[in-house]
Structure 1
């Protein structure tokens, strides 16, 4: 008997009940047979999810040895006992470290010198002891370094509880504040803290002022934002002179500011929100510096006096450029650091604010990623930044902005003798039917041939203007060393090629993201990198939407799909404003209450466009406590695929019953989840069942 038939006949997938729900809008009558899965209080829902998990475990039983092998080799590359590069703030050096066998980080500091005695500020391992899930949110030391504000989420739902720790006595203050978001700012009096509360839909919508040592029931409500499209955040300028209240929808911003030396005062408005106008601010001496997209699709840099910040006083510092995206700036006492993206790649240049002289920091690799590191000091000439590529591990650099010299402080060690010269990365270009050139970052082990026989994993995202980072992953070596080529499709909807790149992949142009991805897959096949029966694809969240859309369009092009917490029930979800992101999503996908957008979204929504045809092998993941993509989206999608697909390919749903959008917490459990996904990919691409696995299945079948 064929090995795959043995497994297929040994277990049967669970069948979801069909309890139809009629949805009507714009005269469109939609029957949703699996709407009932949304009812988490219905015992049948949990039973169904657990049945799917049991089926997934059974169908992956033959890969347990491979999963263990993958986990062991991935763990073996990690230096389990390790130390981050300390950063200086005033008279303290702050850092975190990990210890072998412990899943979470330990946060520490030393006073005056790196040779001083270590002080442990917070040990996540102790806080996580009694919880299956743990995530740290806020971690904010007061300006005088005596109090730590921190918050924790123990369910994965992104509902954080805020605590205050006296760093002299290491005793907690009595106040414990529930239902907070992970933004916080200290006043310079070291007694006043500002935090955000979440509403029933998990949206941060209120800003409170808290006085240390008092009950949170006495806290003053500083600001309430009634518009569901505008989540509220609080932060500080790098100078620590001002506290910022930020209201930021997908495409519109409003910022208020408060003198951090007068935390009991009133916030003042920089500029009122105007639909479609974004801006962000930072502070330097007598000026606020403002990045805005007003009449500048790729953004420009302005500045305005602190004592009269009205728009009539804004002056141009860096003008708009059509071919360069201004990603951000960072202000130091004597320097302006400018982060940009040109030709698809990130760049950084440093300007001396006194002389106006500039210097570019250059990087040699064809595709890479960089981002600012920990730079809490304002009065310094040292810029810390992080650099990585598909073959270069995460690297921390200190750059002297006066001498233009850079110093490598640390490159993350990859145990087991990693040799980057054994791998090659490239920057490729695919062409779509409309003639657009789509960048592809690709990495592979030296020696492969472009003969169409290579297994290849292609991933992408293409939403919210997020550029997919071409960064190193030591775990990915488990694929590369087995001959798998890894590629990233930098499709429209991201911002790799500028803001226009984003605009051309959203609203009524969203389908460009899907056809771009398909064009990248077709290009890789045509150029001999792989073949359709060797091509795996993966994506998470909005990248999961991408996965669902492309297999509805071109199921024949792919061998297998891994869709992590996929956003696949687009229309139904965005219509439901009780969910945390729905109203905000209207500025990304469109408002489905408008028939034009409703019809367009329905035409590509993965759940709504499943048809009776063959689909690739599918592994779909979900998190029961996910507040961003509710568990029922992947669960409903799975159920409907089971009902309609005509093939005998494998379809698995794996729901983490104790986690949220990011999956398992802790580095060990996260590795186990990744080993499971990698085992699925390798098994469906190339590996055969072991004799022991076949015998176990046959024994169960006979029983």
Structure 2
């Protein structure tokens, strides 16, 4: 914290140039909207001045940042590789090398001996050792050389294994250049398509590539088809979505035969199927948007007949699974496969040649169910099974998972052990095995292959971590009570020497939007906080999906305030129950979680000593009122439409962080942003810090850093990512007075 004896440099002051707008009879005047012009030399000079100010204010944290970065680096096994996954005669994997920022994507030939177990057992590869027969598909380091930014937006290999389609972003704005590579020669083809979106896909015959383009507001608008070897100017439009409030995407069916076109928003969608991806045919609508359902469709072949497996929320808030004709048809005639359940949220479906895989959420965390396709939708249908079932529940044997000591059942309102997350990773269509990942907050990710026929599993890999004894940490589930009586799940982590005696520094993390869930995940940077005595808590607040669809609905649109008050109430519960010193609490969140940070800063600044708002969505009203801005129209189903609805306008204005900064003693605040972020524009935090400094009555610094060559995720490259985490953690630790380790690096 800043003391009276310390002096801070003078922060940049942007001139006021008021611009007024009127909606629903209400006039808003914005003195800093001019900062939106990123091409302006004056704006760029101001942004550089902000970054320089942040560097000056936090210069005393540089040594700590380096220390934290070194700890992340020391604990990370830098030379490593993924478990190979078999696909059409090849084993595909990625690997990293010490000193390199980006991964290499590679493959080696697979063998077909007739022995199913042997043929589907991944080869044992040793990190850092040459791999006989290895073919490098892409080297991210070579592609990034000389570029200010590098991100891979997807890659797809043709069915015959001779052609690669891949997309590269060199600016951070998520607009990609699509290229094609001949894998027999290792050379790129002349075909180059600029301005595409994520995930290009090759057609089954390998002669065409399907890609997505966005409109001026960065909304995926069109699916295009490029015939390889022709001029991209001659590419044809496969599908156009004209509704500005709908997102467009596409994916192949599990067997790779059909293209499924997905259109949707946060509340309903529509699906089309392009059977065979045949140039002579057209996509067919199978689930119209008029059904007003959120859904996913999978084309499959059952007993020689093409059918659709449909996951939807039709009369089922948490979802249901049905079997439908290939053309969709009347939902009333669909055959039930899995009926709706009150305590289980169906999250997604996949299929192999023999099994249906259903991702579900039970007890707030992800799990996986499987059903044989044989007999699906008939009276003989088998009951769903749960691969890795012993690993999914809360009753883990003592010592089996570090920090996860059993402490009774984990029901609502009962403190206990945090369940482990089990998620479906992948499986080749013809594979007898499902690739599953088990992970916990203190359990590095484990990769398992589970035989679909009988559930037999084999552990293939545990993510290696160095210089740490995970038995030194604890994680458990607590439940806070919101002001309206709702029970808020909390995940609480700490070093084993830290107790809830009310003296520890506390960091609270939250998100609470878009039905996104903050599931168990192992994070090396977080260990450095725990090693300095910090209690790290995740508040699973409303607006997220941790407790099913209703939990999300209670934190969106005209119920959005619940998200913010839940976070404040969770913080209060944690300190009242001894999990943190009330004078040493930090809050952290990013993107929509950055909106959360801005809102709680206005609601309860006295509860926090520091706030880190990463790429914060702190001026939502201005953004969503302008449908020409990136993604604004798509946000109407999440926040409401303030253009047409006066009640929504007034409600959003009541919580918008930028609109509600007051004469309050704000804590130390760090806003972190990137110039080329297309999801949350840099101008939002740039304006926010100006009004915080002008109106706030506190003495703590308000800073903004800006990555001039980055996007929504900051700078590219794993070392740059580690530096970002070290920056955030050093800011928090400094303002919590928790810079000294309480335990040595193991």
- TM-score above 0.5, yes or no: yes
Q: State yes or no: 1:399 paired with 2:398.
A: no
Q: Which runs of 5+ in 2 are unaligned?
A: 112-122, 124-130, 375-380, 397-403, 405-417, 741-746
Cα offset, 1:263, TM superposition: 4.2
User: Which of the numbers 481, 488, 492 marks the counterpart of 2:531?
Assistant: 481
Are 1:374 and 2:400 counterparts? Answer: no
Q: Deviation at 1:678?
A: 1.0
Count of residue pairs brought into register by the alignment: 685
Deviation for aligned residue 1:660: 1.0
Q: Do the aligned partners of 2:297 and 2:310 also contact (CA within 8 Å) in 1? A: yes
1:663 aligned partner:
714
The C-alpha deviation readout for 1:551-609, integer Å capped at 9, x for no partner, is 11111111110000100101111011111211010000000021010000000000000
> Does residue 1:614 correspond to 2:661, yes or no?
no
Deviation at 1:687, TM superposition (A): 5.3
Q: CA 1:382/1:309 → structure 2, altered by over 3 Å: closer, same or farther?
A: farther
Name the residue aligned to 1:356. 382
**CA shift digits 1:367-393 (9 cap, x unpaired):** 333322132x11222111112111001
* Contact 2:357/2:368 (<8 A) preserved: yes
SS at match of 2:148: coil
- Name the residue aligned to 1:272: 288
Q: Which residue of 1 aligns with 2:351?
A: 331
Question: 3-state SS of the aligned residue for 1:549?
Answer: helix
CA drift at 1:635? 0.5
Q: What is the 5 A alignment of 1:412-561?
A: 412-416=463-467, 418-561=468-611
Q: Indicate the residue corresponding to 1:202 in structure 2.
A: 218
Name 2:243's counterpart in structure 1: 227
Match of 2:14 among 11, 16, 38: 16
- What does the per-residue CA deviation read over 1:386-440, in whole Å, with 9 as the maximum and x for residues that have no partner? 1211100111111112232221111110012x22211111011001121110000
Cα separation, partners in 2 of 1:643 and 1:3, compared to 1, 3 Å: closer
Match of 1:294 in 2: 314
CA distance 1:680–1:240, shift in 2 (3 Å): same
Checking the alignment, whether the CA contact within 8 Å between 1:656 and 1:663 is kept in structure 2 is yes
Cα separation, partners in 2 of 1:98 and 1:397, compared to 1, 3 Å = same
Summarize deviations over 1:113-139 as a string: whole Å, max 9, x none: 547411001001001001121000021
Give the Cα–Cα distance (whole angstroms) in 1 for the partners of residues 17 and 144 of structure 2.
Answer: 40
The match for 1:185 among 201, 213, 220 is 201
Q: Deviations over 1:68-91 (max 9, x none)?
A: 111111111111111111000121
Contact 2:16 2:31 in 1 (8 A): yes
Distance 1:312 1:232 in 2: 26
Measure how far apart 1:267 and its partner are: 0.6
Alignment counterpart, residue 598 of structure 1, candidates 649, 661, 678: 649
Deviation at 1:310, TM superposition (A): 4.8
In structure 2, what is the Cα distance between the partners aligned to 1:524 and 1:312? Answer: 48
Match of 2:89 among 88, 91, 94: 91
Indicate whether 1:245 and 2:295 are aligned: no
How far apart in 1 are the matches of 2:262 and 2:359?
21
What is the aligned counterpart of 1:135 among 148, 151, 175?
151
Change (3 A) 1:683 1:570: same
Query: CA RMSD of the aligned region, Å?
Result: 1.6
Gaps of 5+ in 1: 690-703
Distance 1:560 1:275, change over 3 A: farther
Task: For residues 660-699 of structure 1, give each alpha carbon's deviation from its aligned partner in whole angstroms, at most 9, with x where no partner exists.
Answer: 111010001111111111111111111589xxxxxxxxxx
Q: TM-score, normalised by structure 2?
A: 0.90
* Structure 1: distance between partners of 2:88 and 2:701: 57
**Is the 8 Å Cα contact of residues 285 and 327 (structure 2) preserved in structure 1?**
no
1:226 and 1:42 mapped to 2: Cα distance? 32
The change in CA–CA distance for 1:358 and 1:249 in structure 2 (over 3 A counts) is closer
Question: Per-residue deviation at 1:6?
Answer: 5.0
Counterpart for residue 36 of structure 1: 34
Task: Check the 8 A contact 2:211/2:224 in 1, yes or no.
Answer: yes
344-353 vs 667-676, greater mean Cα deviation: 344-353
1:347 is displaced (CA, Å) by 2.2
Question: CA deviation digits over 1:185-209, x for unaligned, max 9?
Answer: 2211111221111122221101111
SS of structure 1 residue aligned to 2:155: strand
- Assess if the C-alpha contact under 8 Å between 2:217 and 2:632 holds in 1: no
1:611–1:275 distance in 2 versus 1, CA, 3 Å: farther
Give the C-alpha shift of residue 3 in structure 1: 7.3
1:81 maps to which residue?
A: 79
Pair 1:641-2:688 in alignment = no
Distance 1:72 1:500, change over 3 A: same
3-state SS of 2:290 partner: coil
